[in-house]
Chain A
Amino acid sequence: MEFSSSKHGDKLVVTVAGRMDAITAQEFDTQCRQWLAAGDTNVIADLSGLEYISSAGLRSILSAAKQLKGAQGSLAFCNLSGMVEEVFVVSGFAAMFTMHPTLEDALAG
């Protein structure tokens, strides 16, 4: 799994690429602690490069979201497709989180 991030005003856009599975998922949680340490609490995760996610990935995302919420922040998502979108819908995550079709929409929202 690969991460890159950029600041847009008070929002941190994090692009996540690769596979978020039982082997790699913990990295999302680890990254989240770094965002918090840097004072970034409003995070938009751009998942356009994410090919695969399992329940281990969902677990890491929920844990990160709870940490951000605890710091009066937020976690939103954009650019989901394929099986990643399917997993978000089936698990209820698509209804639970703020979802945007594109990054432009996410930054405007």
Chain B
Amino acid sequence: MPVFDATPDLASLPLVRDHVLPLAADAGLDPAALPRLDLVLEEILVNVANHAYGGRQGTFEVECAVRDGQFCCLIRDWGAPFDPLAAPAPDTGTTMEQRPVGGLGILLVTTMSDHCRYARTGEANELTVCFALRHDTG
């Protein structure tokens, strides 16, 4: 599948969606899972936009593939090494008054995807998120 690349900013958000969601639909991802994929892509892109390059110019790319019955997206940037999956999970059991604003993006990535993995490969951060494809249709 073609690789998408752009600068990590909010303007790229609709472009990433328009690239990835049709690929996922063509690959047979359950329509009910598409909003979860949409969400996971946004959270990762916002994370890259806010943290990867510390204000410097940079790029990211999204590479999609079907592998082992899953639709997978690899999101790659060349910023400082950062494993978002290593961050401690937020406390989701507090009252509204005690609850800090923010910090929920990665929790949504890990719970809404079926599988995710981080790797530092050379100079790149590579975050792979996968969604199971259903096999009961045919």
A residues apposed to B, CB below 8 Å: 21-23, 51-52, 54-56, 58-59, 62-63, 65-66, 69, 82-83, 86-87, 90-92, 95-97
12 A-B interface contacts by CB (under 8 A): A51-B35, A54-B108, A59-B102, A59-B104, A62-B96, A63-B101, A69-B97, A90-B111, A91-B92, A92-B92, A92-B93, A96-B95
Contacting residues of chain B (34-91) with chain A, CB-CB under 8 angstroms: 35-36, 38-39, 42-43, 46
CB neighbours of A58 from chain B (8 A): 104
**B interface, over-half SS:** helix
Give the interface size bracket for B toward A: 20 to 34
CB neighbours of A52 from chain B (8 A): 35, 38-39
CB neighbours of A62 from chain B (8 A): 96, 99, 101
Contacting pair A55 B112 (CB below 8 A): no
CB neighbours of A83 from chain B (8 A): 35-36, 39
Contacting pair A21 B42 (CB below 8 A): yes
Contacting pair A55 B96 (CB below 8 A): no
Beyond A90-B107, A90-B108, A91-B108, whether A22 also contacts B46 by CB under 8 A is yes
Contacting pair A91 B104 (CB below 8 A): yes
* Residue B10 interfacial (CB < 8 Å): yes
B residues apposed to A, CB below 8 Å: 10, 13-14, 35-36, 38-39, 42-43, 46, 92-97, 99, 101-102, 104-105, 107-108, 111-112
CB neighbours of B38 from chain A (8 A): 52
CB distance from B16 to the nearest CB of A (A): 12
- Which B residue's beta carbon lies closest to that of A93? B92
Partner of B42, one of A22, A59, A65, A90: A22
Instruction: Please measure, in the bound complex, the distance between the C-alpha atom of A86 and the C-alpha atom of B32, giving whole angstroms.
Output: 12
CB distance from B113 to the nearest CB of A (A): 12
14 more CB-based (< 8 A) A-B contacts, given A66-B97, A66-B101, A92-B94? A22-B42, A23-B13, A54-B39, A54-B42, A54-B105, A55-B105, A62-B101, A63-B101, A69-B96, A69-B97, A83-B35, A87-B39, A92-B93, A96-B99
